[in-house]
Amino acid sequence: MGKKLPRETGHPSNYYDIDLDQMQMLKELRQNRGAPFTEFEVGRVPMAYRGSRGADYMIAAVGATHRFKQMADYRCDGTDDDVEILAALNALSATGGKIFLSGGVFALSQQIARAIDNVCIQGVGPGTRLNLDGVTPVISAGGQSAWLVLDLDTDAGGVDVA
């Protein structure tokens, strides 16, 4: 995760924190859509820009921050978190997409997989951890192409994107 921007004042329910990398991603996303981009209050982005994010679906771990849970499309409860992750994966279009996982531990009871190409699953770094059984790969792309798994940690089962 990138360097955090300094906090500024503002009502917490109207803003959520982002870091420098996320600010750049938001800027590029808005420019690619032809929308104007202006520098916001340093370190925060108004909730009105919730829809301008770099992922199709956001998933919050049970220990995620309150702000991330507010933005999340799916919220995990710490048990069988694969249900929410697979729901987001199944909700992606047939052409693929991106799923963003919050920081926290995701307790899985089955492997994460779907038979589509062009999938990106991204966490926030080592603070995003996926646990299955320590043997089976946590995420498997199978025979699919262009799967990208970024910025997360797994148990000993690892990731299979072969």
Q: Determine the Cα–Cα distance for residues 24 and 6; give it in Å rounded to an integer.
A: 16
What is residue 45's predicted lDDT score, i.e. its pLDDT?
Answer: 43
For residues 29-45, give the mean pLDDT: 50
Domain positions in the chain are 12-52, 55-160
Tens digits of residue pLDDT in 93-116: 999 999 999 999 999 999 999 999
Extract the tokens encoding 154.
């797994």
Extract the tokens encoding 56.
């199709």
pTM above 0.75, yes or no: no
What is residue 152's predicted lDDT score, i.e. its pLDDT?
Answer: 93
Strands, E, within the chain: which ranges? 15-17, 44-46, 57-60, 74-75, 97-101, 104-107, 119-122, 128-131, 139-140, 147-150, 153-154, 159-160
Q: Determine the Cα–Cα distance for residues 76 and 89; give it in Å rounded to an integer.
A: 14
Residue (of 78, 58, 77) closest to 68 by Cα position: 58
